[in-house]
Structure 1
Amino acid sequence: MMMEKSGVENCLNVLLSNYSDIENLMLEQIFSIRKISFIDRRGWCIDSYDGGEQESDKYDDDLAYYIYVVEGNKLTGCVRLRPSLCSTLLSQTFSCLRAISSIEAVNKAWEASRFCLLRPSAPEGKPLRVRGGLDKRTLSMFIKMIEFSKIKDIDFYEVIVDQAMLKIINFSGWEYALVNEDKIKFGAPVFYVHLHCNSNSLSNLKKKLLGD
């Protein structure tokens, strides 16, 4: 069993768990905010979604880990992590964006997908945003991802992002490589990116979280 917890501030906790260790109620919250974020808010057409108040797919299984933010008793953000050597979105749906060099390097890579947040809140009048408009929850999950990479010997995360998320990554200080992009097939520009898991990126993220 793996479950780690870190407190960013008293009302905000960042947790890490394997799929098999998460209680059903928490899993339901994860799938619920994914539905709110991707289906309701962004209007994504996800083939595996067949209606209802939750969004999940075949990649939500025992190989998946989740980093998620809990404020009080409410889950408000999450991201899914899977080893790139197993079946992933990037080996299936988005395989056309993977460069040959990336395929050869995935033995020390993981995929990060379904990153989402509920609308920002400010419990007890304390804003969750830091300088530059970056959400503390985003930075906290980024930091947790790099900390997790040390446990699993991960060199980089493979991600598919839109322009808005690429700007967030860029401004956060997380070092990355833009490997490929597509501006036609998916209806809007999407980018295949490697997020480097190194000490410099971790330091940049922690400084940004502290508002430096």
Structure 2
Amino acid sequence: MIVVVDALNRHKYNELLDEMFKLRKRVFHDRLGWEVDITDGKEIDMFDNLHPAYLIALDDEGDLVGCMRILQTTGPHMLADVFIDIMDGEPPVRSAQLWEVTRFCVDTDKLKSGKSRNSISYVTSELFVAATEYGKNAGILDAVAVIDPVMNRVMIRSQNAPYDYLGKTVQMGKVKAMAGLLDCTDERINRLRAFNGIEGDVFAESDEVALERFASRPAAVAKLPEPNHPGVTDTMRAEVVALQTPAPTQIDLHSYFNEQIDEAESAEELAAAEALKAEMTKYFRNKNRCDA
């Protein structure tokens, strides 16, 4: 699931953004050795104050596993103001139809190898599908991505190769940095989707859906207060209990239906209980067939 966080909804995602900045610190400072600013264990720079858009990937358990920053090139941006050596003397690129994609990273500690869901390859492709679709729908023709040679090879292998490069490759910390151009086209989207079997809408249905999944991640549930703790309101107590209560299994549901049948006090109640059990049995039979 990809969550879009921008100036309009950023106030809803303070905790999610904190987790994103912490991931960026672990990747760009700790692993890659880039000279970046670190504050309270988070990597945040001046471009994060320019109201960029963030694409944030959540896995099936609600953990943040990847991110990307999108910034307009008509104002300050990294290729013009930080990675200017890449341009090798050429003027900075600026266009209302060109976005800059930077700070792309995935959590290699949480993600698996291979190409299945919740894998490094899948989340990488999912983020670039989202970025390309997001840009295309906004009328953007191209994106410039500041990447290292390793990421460049990953993009080539995953059917997401830049169609051209700007300037030259320069040293940046422990690795080198380069700028690749990516077109925002259906052809690129289709290649990325086909490579990892990505189907359907990659974006969260709503902010509420995204926040609910993030709140249900194991780390968040483990930090929930005890329901009877002083200061926990009735609303908070209900939410805590709901998150800590395991979802009913098929066996639980069938037991419930049988209890309703046994406790029916009229022909109408019996018929309704039996109809509900039959409908749910049909649903699970079809679901199990599809999952198989």
Q: C-alpha distance in 1, partners of 2:109/2:173?
A: 28
Given that residues 79 and 113 in structure 1 are in contact (C-alpha distance below 8 angstroms), is that contact kept between their aligned partners in structure 2?
yes
Residues 1:142 and 2:131 aligned together: no
Bigger radius of gyration among the two: 2
Q: CA deviation at 1:196?
A: 1.3
For normalisation by structure 2, the TM-score amounts to 0.59
Which moves more between the two structures, 89-98 or 184-193? 184-193
Q: C-alpha distance in 2, partners of 1:179/1:94?
A: 11
Q: CA deviation at 1:95?
A: 2.1
Residues 1:180 and 2:167 aligned together: yes
Which residue matches 1:130? 115
**Ranges in structure 1 where 5+ consecutive residues have no aligned partner:** 1-12
Q: C-alpha distance in 2, partners of 1:19/1:57?
A: 16
Q: C-alpha distance in 1, partners of 2:173/2:27?
A: 18
2:51 alignment partner, one of 49, 59, 63: 63
Residues 1:34 and 2:35 aligned together: no
| Structure (1/2) with the larger strand percentage | 1
For normalisation by structure 1, the TM-score amounts to 0.80
Given that residues 19 and 66 in structure 1 are in contact (C-alpha distance below 8 angstroms), is that contact kept between their aligned partners in structure 2?
no
Residues 1:119 and 2:108 aligned together: yes
Q: Return the letter of the residue paired with 2:127.
A: M
Which moves more between the two structures, 55-64 or 110-119? 55-64
Which residue matches 2:68? 79
Which moves more between the two structures, 138-147 or 111-120? 111-120
3-state DSSP of counterpart to 1:15: strand
Given that residues 65 and 110 in structure 2 are in contact (C-alpha distance below 8 angstroms), is that contact kept between their aligned partners in structure 1?
no
1:189 alignment partner, one of 176, 187, 198: 176
Residues 1:21 and 2:48 aligned together: no
Q: C-alpha distance in 1, partners of 2:98/2:54?
A: 16
Q: Among the aligned pairs, what percent are the same residue? A: 19
**For 1:85-116, what per-residue CA distance to the aligned partner results, in whole angstroms no more than 9, with x for missing partners?**
1211112011232374872x623100111111
Q: Return the letter of the residue paired with 1:90.
A: L
Q: CA deviation at 1:188?
A: 4.3
Q: C-alpha distance in 1, partners of 2:100/2:124?
A: 17
Which residue matches 2:187? 200
Q: CA deviation at 1:173?
A: 1.2
Which residue matches 2:210? none
Which residue matches 1:5? none
Q: CA deviation at 1:44?
A: 1.5
**For 1:170-205, what per-residue CA distance to the aligned partner results, in whole angstroms no more than 9, with x for missing partners?**
112124212222345766432211111111111110
Q: 1:88 to 1:130 in 2, by over 3 A?
A: same
Which residue matches 1:108? 97
3-state DSSP of counterpart to 2:80: coil
Q: 1:50 to 1:199 in 2, by over 3 A?
A: closer
Size of the aligned set, in residue pairs, is 191
**Ranges in structure 2 where 5+ consecutive residues have no aligned partner:** 199-292
Q: C-alpha distance in 2, partners of 1:186/1:53?
A: 19
Which residue matches 1:6? none
| Structure (1/2) with the larger helix percentage | 2
